[in-house]
Amino acid sequence: MTLLGVWALTSCSQYSTGRLSVGYHNLTAKYNAYVIARDKMWEAEKSLQRTRKENYNQELLILPKLDSTEAQAVSALLDDVIKKASLVPDRHQNSKWLDNALVLLGKARLYKGQFTTGIETLRYVNAKGRDEEDKHEGLIWLMRAYVETKDYNSALSVAEYLRSQPLNDKNTRDFYLVKALLQGPQTARLHFVAGQLYDMLEKPQAATFHYGQVSRNRPSYDLGFFARMNDLQNQAFTDPTISTESGFRRLLNDRKNSDLRDRVYYTMGVIETRKKNYNKAIGYFKESVKQTTTNTSQVPYTYLEMAKVYYDKLQNYELAKAYFDSSLTLLPKESAQYQKIADRKEVLDEFVKHLTTVRTEDSLQRLSQMNPATLDKFLDGVIEKEIEEQERQVKEAQRLVEQAKALSANAVNTFEGDPAERFVLYDVMAVGRGKAEFQQGWGNRKLEDDWRRSAKVSSLFTQDNNIVAAPTQNNAVNNVGFGGDLTKLTKGSPEWKARKDALYRNIPLKKQELDASNQRIEDALYKLGKIYKFNLEEPENAIKTFKDEIARFPSTNYKPEIYYLLYLTDAKDKQTAWKEKLTAEFPSSSYTRLLTKANGAAATAFSGNSEIEALRDYEKILGIYQSGNYTEAFAQLEMAMAIYTGAKMEDKYAVLRIYLLGKLQGREVYQKALNDFVKDYPNSPLLPRMREVLEAQQSTSARQN
């Protein structure tokens, strides 16, 4: 090799600092590697932005999460970024584009979900980089990577360092928004988030301003659509005289919104709820579910709104429970509303069980008062109406199958991939076939537990004469004709007679059966009253239920406690009357002693005997808590805390109250009670333990959010 060749090779080495070598590697690294990688990254990010599906029912994050599953759609582009950006550290170590290429390489790794290697690359830029602005850019992405991996301490350390650095304009924006650049679609997204935040603060006019700004900043189609929707909703809330009907109709008639009509009807339902047109609102919500196509993300929120209307406005607790159940089944577990709904559902499950018991037993007792001929004719009518209903359901199922075939033929169901891997409930044909097959085999069944039970009487009794659905009390009955094709039953046949006999067996015709029915009503009313008071926090309904029980069952064993609960719940001017009833009728009752002690508690200091009583009562209430009877424990605890205010045991009572609130009213109330304990009992020896529990709860909430 000539001396000239050796000189050329050494002078062009990637480790040389000579001007010729550096110039060569700068030029080659830029145009053969870095620029190509940079353009591929831009292309990948724009593609992700176009195809990203947001959940506009939840508050949008300032930045979308780095989702490796979502990034699979641009995997080839990201692989190109990695391939080209890697050429710079491999072949052009003395190039000024080395830091830029490494930042691109780290970003691509993060998008692909390769956080460990991505973080290592970005840390290397900070440690070995030569350009301060490139190092700052790498640190901003490193901070985002730490946030994504929930390493918040490391993210805070990076943030503290960057706060003291002289960042250029671009890196300043990136630092505060972490890549949410204030231009184009990102600005539209930020305005949408600002609108949502003002909505949460109940400032619709300020929200409307930001929703209006969305359309001026080149939003994606979906973002612009939802901004327009929220704007129309706020107009209706701000001025009820303004009609938004035409605006919604335009959205419904626009063919580009064919897959968004469910959201339009949902918003119309929300507006009608605000206007107190509850039946109209329910109609829109049902239409929203009906209009759902392949994107089912709206459905759980529609069910949730229906549940709230039935619960808060119409007091139809059975339907509220059903829609809360459906919403909880479909709602993402990471949703901020998930735990609240789960807590409310648990209460409603118990509530509806007792409410159904009262209505069922009342209905059956009314049937028992009919003369035999009238009752026999009535039960024939029940079976006939059930057959008619099943025929209607079978026809509806057949219609759904035909509709599913039509949808499939028009390629509405656009699943790509192996059909065997598709979740069956996303396949409208499979759903239609399943409904038809189920109803042909089992008849019309409500969505509930124990739907297979033979001789189930649900939906058999019509609303005639105020008679409601009555579940069976006896499962060991003849199964002929039950749960099968009822349309094949003929009047007077053995199968018809077997079905009627099963219905007869539920009616309390004998005194022993009537006594048992009354006992079920008595127990259920007592439990309903306590749920109204302690779980649903509806004192008026609790008072009414307790009074109904006393009126219907004057000799009930629950009477002393009911008097005591009425004393706690009723208006102050009526408390004396309940106390007098309790002390006069039940002078030796434990509830009478509680009231007597409560009257003298505030006037006397705690003696040794009082402290012993406080301990004894605490252990008694703790035993009730440990047995799982939380409402009973809470009732006694509330009075005991009034009695033993200032006692040494007071903080222990307060801790037990925290746990009971958690059981009865859910996590949010539980956390508030923990915070209150920290403020109210600063000198308690239990304080360190309660702080640990509070920190654990806050940490859990942070992870879920």
Q: Where do the structural domains in the chain lie, given as residue ranges? A: 26-177, 202-344, 370-414+424-509, 604-705
pLDDT of amino acid 679: 78
Going by pLDDT thresholds of 50, 70 and 90, the confidence category of residue 419 is: very low
CATH 3.20.20.140 given to domain 26-177? no
585 is written with which tokens? 């009728």
Q: What's the CA gap between 280 and 272, in Å, rounded?
A: 7
Whole-number percent of the chain with pLDDT over 70 = 77
Going by pLDDT thresholds of 50, 70 and 90, the confidence category of residue 471 is: very low
Q: At what angle do helices 687-704 and 667-680 cross, to 10 degrees?
A: 140
Q: Which of 586, 576, 516 is nearest to 550 (CA)?
A: 586
DSSP, residue by residue, 542-563: HHHHHHHHHHH-TT-TTHHHHH
Going by pLDDT thresholds of 50, 70 and 90, the confidence category of residue 140 is: confident
Q: What CATH number does the domain located at 604-705 have?
A: 1.25.40.10
Range with top average pLDDT, 155-159, 205-209, 337-341, 555-559: 555-559
Decide if pLDDT at 275 tops 80: yes
The 10s digit of each residue's pLDDT in 609-658 is 567 778 888 888 888 888 888 888 888 887 787 777 777 888 888 889 88
pLDDT of amino acid 178: 55
Decide if pLDDT at 54 tops 60: yes
CB 182 within 8 A of CB 194: no
Residue 434 Cα distances to 415, 437, 439, 441, 445, angstroms = 19, 5, 8, 11, 14
Q: What's the CA gap between 374 and 421, in Å, rounded?
A: 56
Decide if pLDDT at 426 tops 50: no
Decide if pLDDT at 440 tops 70: no
Mean pLDDT of the 77-89 span: 85
The 10s digit of each residue's pLDDT in 284-305 is 999 999 898 877 888 999 999 9
pLDDT of amino acid 284: 93
Q: Which of 314, 225, 307 is nearest to 276 (CA)?
A: 314
pLDDT of amino acid 697: 76
Decide if pLDDT at 474 tops 60: no
Decide if pLDDT at 490 tops 50: yes
Q: How many CA atoms lie within 13 A of 449 on its CB side?
A: 4
Q: How many CA atoms lie within 13 A of 268 on its CB side?
A: 25
Residue 421 vs residue 521, higher pLDDT: 521
Decide if pLDDT at 525 tops 90: yes
pLDDT of amino acid 217: 74
587 is written with which tokens? 């002078």
Q: What is the mean pLDDT of the chain?
A: 77
Going by pLDDT thresholds of 50, 70 and 90, the confidence category of residue 162 is: confident
Decide if pLDDT at 452 tops 80: no
Compute the C-alpha angle 207/211/217, nearest 5°. 140
Same fold, 202-344 and 604-705: yes
Q: What's the CA gap between 325 and 311, in Å, rounded?
A: 13
Q: What's the CA gap between 440 and 462, in Å, rounded?
A: 22
Match 């029915």 to its residue by tokens.
517
Decide if pLDDT at 409 tops 60: no
Decide if pLDDT at 20 tops 90: no
CATH superfamily label, 202-344: Tetratricopeptide repeat domain (1.25.40.10)
Mean pLDDT of the 221-246 span: 80
Going by pLDDT thresholds of 50, 70 and 90, the confidence category of residue 466 is: very low
pLDDT of amino acid 581: 92
Tell me which DSSP letter residue 63 carries: S
pLDDT of amino acid 639: 76
Decide if pLDDT at 13 tops 50: yes
Decide if pLDDT at 547 tops 70: yes
pLDDT of amino acid 404: 59
Decide if pLDDT at 427 tops 60: no
Decide if pLDDT at 184 tops 50: no
Going by pLDDT thresholds of 50, 70 and 90, the confidence category of residue 163 is: confident
54-58, 433-437, 474-478: the lowest-pLDDT one: 474-478
Model's pTM, two decimal places?
0.52
CB 85 within 8 A of CB 105: yes
**What's the length of the chain?**
705
Decide if pLDDT at 168 tops 90: no
Whole-number percent of the chain with pLDDT over 90 = 12
Q: Which of 630, 618, 704 is nearest to 664 (CA)?
A: 630
pLDDT of amino acid 365: 93
Residue 500 vs residue 697, higher pLDDT: 500
